Structure 1
Amino acid sequence: MSTAALSELQPVVPPQTHVPDIAIEEVSRDLSRAIERTEVAAWLDAYAAAPADFAARQGLSIARDGDLVWTTCMTIPFIHFNCVKNIGVDGPATEEQLDALLAHYRAAGIMRPWFYSNPHTEPSRLRCWLEARGMQQHGGWERIYRDATPLPDKPLFPADPLIPVDDLVVEEVTPRTASDWASFIDARYRLPTSPWLTALVGRRGWHHYMLRRRGAVEAVRSLFIGPDGAAWSGIDAPVPGIMAPSFDLDAMLGERLVRDGIAAGAKLFVADIEAPRPDRDGPAYRNYDRLGFRLAYLRSHYSYLPANSS
């Protein structure tokens, strides 16, 4: 009997199934649109707050055509500032629309514009159009969301009992502490955005938080609540899993945001896991699951490779 025949007689071991560390739900196209619109609303409001002289110096702008929104910045090659926020979200994209956007970025001297795609963007062949024009997928972020279900009264991420209570403190940013918050973000990302960031402090709908250790800022995260009660969480630093190895501080900030957001009337919370893992396991997924978030989908990011950017 051949060796191959013997191998066929071996018992078949079924593959082990992996249970993700976060609840996953198949969202509808309408909910997907609501999720994407929540972030777009936050960026539209943030750009409306940008000081005119700062925007002029940086070549910073946001534009829209109907529901379609895109950003441009000539001096800061940062994904958020040179991207099409929602192509194919509120209606089917067209090749003519895509080509016009690419022409806009070429004319502005932007070599690597970014386009977002998720399982609900229309048409489904949008990714093929992007790839046909030389773009490739460069990672993506997990889109997560939750409703306004209250959290338990007991803290979900209590501070280490070995650390004094006054050693680790989450506080909301005020005009008095705005420069500390903005400077921390700019230092972490190597950006010149402090004049813009400080303009968001005290602005209607915006809530910014810092976590301090022994008085020094260690982590930050913001929440924007729109008039419709849809809340976007972002402007976070350091990004856990990318800029920092620990997820604990961001989890504490996330809990404060959810509690305060619910108290302020938020009905839908939208956030991202920016260091996705294939098995959807790890501390980011576990922490957001404890906070009541569910995973909607992976939003893929498309752009040119640096060598092909011309």
Structure 2
Amino acid sequence: MNTALDCAIEKVEREAWFDLFAAAPDDYVQSSKVSYTRLGTNIALANHGTPIAEFNRVLGLGMEEPASEAELEQAIAWMNEHASPSYALQIAPTARPNTIDKWIQANDLERVGNGLAKHYRNALPAENHPLPTTLEVKLMIPHHAVDFGHVVQGGFGLPVSVISWFSALVGRPKWKVYVAYDSHTPVACGAMFLDNNWAWLGIDATLPEYRGRGAQNALIKQRITDGIAAGVIGFTAETGQPPEGEEDKNKSYCNYLRSDFKRLYIRPNYVIKN
């Protein structure tokens, strides 16, 4: 049975990703074959230029209202037509109805990997890290938007073409975009999407040579501080779910737990069986 909290954090994440795709410049949309749509209360995302599950997936099934098998089949049909073959359906364990597992099996879907850990934090002020970073976190303005795009591309190892896409978020309504600098060099980044007094934190990237210097701890704290000032009542983020017993080896996972986020559940990935 899903709860109001589960629904709220799924919804703000869903809207963040939908708006991220809506922000893509026309030339990038055409060159990367980007598509996105709403399927009832769900969203479907497709990006052939970045053929990974994060950019080719369905979100929201069975959260705001009970799903039907017809909706699941509609989502699969749309993804088969528009998405990279590596697409995934991400269905929260709190999705309704409880027969959804039978539909997943009937449509030749199988669970792969460890899934995503969905984190939640209340709106209490963030504490300072015991070892503050020497890097400087700045809220981006359009004039420096490309700094954000470059760090996203370099930090995640994505195609160079994504630089214009992610740069387009700077100054966009509902978004606050941040970059951490080493003097004048952009080295890490993070973004915050605000919707109905909820905040989604994501797009956390650090250039390989600057990892381990506290950039993400500082970026998380700054977003929490600014979100509270903007009236946010709850924050959410997601990270990869580490294998059991290896949680302390996943830096992103630990960064959020260190910042008083709590893992509420694991959202699995489902793909079409080979």
Residue 176 of structure 1 aligns to a residue whose secondary structure is helix
Deviations 1:105-133 (A, max 9, x none): 22336323211122211123323432443
Indicate the residue corresponding to 1:276 in structure 2.
242
State whether residues 70 and 85 of structure 1, in contact with CA within 8 Å, keep that contact through their aligned partners in structure 2. yes
Indicate the residue corresponding to 1:98 in structure 2.
72
1:301 equivalent in alignment to 2:269: yes
State whether residues 173 and 201 of structure 1, in contact with CA within 8 Å, keep that contact through their aligned partners in structure 2. yes
Deviation at residue 279 of structure 1 after TM alignment: 4.2
State whether residues 115 and 302 of structure 1, in contact with CA within 8 Å, keep that contact through their aligned partners in structure 2. yes
Indicate the residue corresponding to 1:251 in structure 2.
217
| Corresponding letter in the other structure for 1:257 | R
CA distance in 2, matches of 1:74, 1:271: 25
**Structure 1 residues not aligned, in runs of 5+:** 1-26
Deviation at residue 69 of structure 1 after TM alignment: 1.3
Deviation at residue 245 of structure 1 after TM alignment: 6.9
TM-score for the superposition, normalised by structure 1: 0.77
Residue 142 of structure 2 aligns to a residue whose secondary structure is coil
- Structure 1 residues 215-234: aligned runs within 5 Å: 215-226=184-195, 228-234=196-202
Deviation at residue 93 of structure 1 after TM alignment: 2.0
Indicate the residue corresponding to 2:124 in structure 1.
149
Change (3 A) 1:130 1:177: same
Name whichever structure is richer in strand by fraction: 2
TM-score for the superposition, normalised by structure 2: 0.86
State whether residues 207 and 224 of structure 1, in contact with CA within 8 Å, keep that contact through their aligned partners in structure 2. yes
1:30 equivalent in alignment to 2:4: yes
Change (3 A) 1:82 1:285: closer
Q: Which has the larger radius of gyration?
A: 1
State whether residues 52 and 86 of structure 2, in contact with CA within 8 Å, keep that contact through their aligned partners in structure 1. no
1:194 equivalent in alignment to 2:160: no
Deviation at residue 260 of structure 1 after TM alignment: 1.3
Change (3 A) 1:260 1:169: same
Residue 292 of structure 1 aligns to a residue whose secondary structure is coil
Deviation at residue 157 of structure 1 after TM alignment: 4.6
State whether residues 151 and 207 of structure 2, in contact with CA within 8 Å, keep that contact through their aligned partners in structure 1. no
Deviation at residue 34 of structure 1 after TM alignment: 0.7
| Corresponding letter in the other structure for 1:208 | V
CA distance in 1, matches of 2:211, 2:167: 28
Q: What is the aligned counterpart of 1:81 among 47, 55, 66?
A: 55
Deviations 1:81-112 (A, max 9, x none): 21111111122222222222222222336323
Residue 143 of structure 2 aligns to a residue whose secondary structure is coil
- Structure 1 residues 69-218: aligned runs within 5 Å: 69-108=43-82, 110-138=84-112, 139-152=114-127, 155-159=128-132, 165=134, 168-187=135-154, 188-191=156-159, 192-218=161-187
| Corresponding letter in the other structure for 2:122 | D
Deviation at residue 28 of structure 1 after TM alignment: 5.3
Residue 151 of structure 1 aligns to a residue whose secondary structure is coil
Q: What is the aligned counterpart of 1:44 among 18, 34, 59?
A: 18
CA distance in 1, matches of 2:122, 2:83: 41
CA distance in 1, matches of 2:173, 2:180: 22
CA distance in 2, matches of 1:247, 1:129: 46
| Corresponding letter in the other structure for 1:251 | N
Change (3 A) 1:54 1:172: same
State whether residues 16 and 200 of structure 2, in contact with CA within 8 Å, keep that contact through their aligned partners in structure 1. yes
Q: What is the aligned counterpart of 2:28 among 28, 50, 54?
A: 54
State whether residues 45 and 83 of structure 2, in contact with CA within 8 Å, keep that contact through their aligned partners in structure 1. no
Greater relative contact order (Cα 8 A, min sep 6): structure 1 or 2? 1
Deviations 1:249-275 (A, max 9, x none): 322211111111111221111111324
Residue 179 of structure 1 aligns to a residue whose secondary structure is helix
State whether residues 171 and 211 of structure 1, in contact with CA within 8 Å, keep that contact through their aligned partners in structure 2. yes
Aligned residues with identical type, % of pairs: 28
Residue 79 of structure 2 aligns to a residue whose secondary structure is helix
**Structure 2 residues not aligned, in runs of 5+:** none
Deviation at residue 59 of structure 1 after TM alignment: 1.8
